Amino acid sequence: MKVGFIGLGIMGRPMAKNLIKAGYELVVFDLNKEAVEDLASCGAAAAESSKEVASQVDVVITMVPNSPHVRAAVLGENGVAEGAKPGLVVIDMSSIDPTESKAIGAELAKKGIEMMDCPVSGGEPKAIDGTLSVMCGGKKELFDRFYDMLMVMAGSVVYVGELGSGNVAKLANQMVVAINIAAVSEALTFAKKAGTDPELVYQAIRGGLAGSTVMDAKAPMMLDGNYKPGFRIELHIKDLNNALNAAHAISAPSPLTAQLMEIMQFLRAEGCDKDDHSAIVKYYEKISGTSIVK
């Protein structure tokens, strides 16, 4: 199977490399020429546009920041739709608003192109290891057809439902993660102000009901004052914006997500938008006038 890959950033680059390692023939494009050259040196064919990618392959994967970028790559000038052969399938693995996944899918369908939304969680380390969690929306028949290819990049690939469902799952994930990081931040800042050692409090509670993957990943970073991304605040703002838009469209009140959005606006105003999302703790440190860094 010949695979097109558009969007070779932090995530797309290692994902594409894993497909090459597994024996897939790749045709790649990114607005960043250096990324395309890097993939070409690993054996991919370099294209000059998304249109040129689409004209040579059976399936196109997109891994770009947000829905305007997906639209530009697939429906824009020199985009996938202009070059697509009959029967082409687009698998968008970017994290975008599910309403947009459906809208883009409907426009592609008019041109005879099918689409799945298959966003991922796990970040750069898991993209490199090929152990991402992939959540899939679209026709079940497409899921079955591309399951093995997706598993090359993943530790788990789960079918969630119709087109858009993958991004509903991804936004649910992003809501839980943001709220969980805030809960850890609030608790450890409280512990510090109460005169205890936040690191010992973390060690005392991590094995109980309060423990979580988020706590184990982020509390050590907070205690070290290490905010190297990881997952940048600016991308989490993008996800919470998509989550709130999608939630408001269906009257699903999401008060905690809205509160986290405002905390992240504070962090952006403070110039922390390139920090890892563990920097949510900086908001708590500021409002409580303390620091939990060891």
Nearest to 181 by CA among 141, 222, 146: 222
Out of 21, 32, 33, 252, the residue judged to bind ligand NAD by CB under 6 A: 32
Task: Answer yes or no: are the C-beta atoms of 71 and 104 closer than 8 Å.
Answer: yes
User: What is the smallest separation between the CB atom of 84 and ligand NAD, expressed in angstroms?
Assistant: 15
Out of 61, 73, 90, 222, the residue judged to bind ligand NAD by CB under 6 A: 73
Out of 19, 26, 27, 35, the residue judged to bind ligand NAD by CB under 6 A: 35
128 binds ligand NAD (CB under 6 A): no
65 binds ligand NAD (CB under 6 A): yes
Nearer to ligand NAD, 14 or 198 (CB): 14
Task: Answer yes or no: are the C-beta atoms of 280 and 263 closer than 8 Å.
Answer: yes
Q: Quick check: helix, strand or coil at residue 169?
A: helix
192 binds ligand NAD (CB under 6 A): no
Could you say which residues in the range 88-127 bind ligand NAD, by CB under 6 A? 94-95, 120-121, 123-124
Take residue 267 and report the two structure tokens written for it.
């962090």
The rounded distance, in Å, linking the Cα atoms of 131 and 129 is 5
Nearer to ligand NAD, 50 or 189 (CB): 50
235 binds ligand NAD (CB under 6 A): yes
12 binds ligand NAD (CB under 6 A): yes
The DSSP result for 55-74, as a single string, is TT-SEEEE--SSHHHHHHHH
Piece in contact with ligand NAD (CB under 6 A), picked from 59-67, 154-162, 181-189, 204-212: 59-67
User: What is the smallest separation between the CB atom of 71 and ligand NAD, expressed in angstroms?
Assistant: 8
Give how far Cα 196 sits from Cα of 49, 183, 220, 278, Å: 57, 17, 16, 21
User: What is the smallest separation between the CB atom of 292 and ligand NAD, expressed in angstroms?
Assistant: 24
Strand (E) or helix (H) holding 158: strand 154-161
Task: Answer yes or no: are the C-beta atoms of 279 and 272 closer than 8 Å.
Answer: yes
Out of 4, 7, 83, 164, the residue judged to bind ligand NAD by CB under 6 A: 7
Task: Answer yes or no: are the C-beta atoms of 7 and 30 closer than 8 Å.
Answer: yes
Report the interface residues with ligand NAD, using CB under 6 A.
6-12, 29-32, 35, 50, 63-65, 69, 72-73, 94-95, 120-121, 123-124, 231, 235
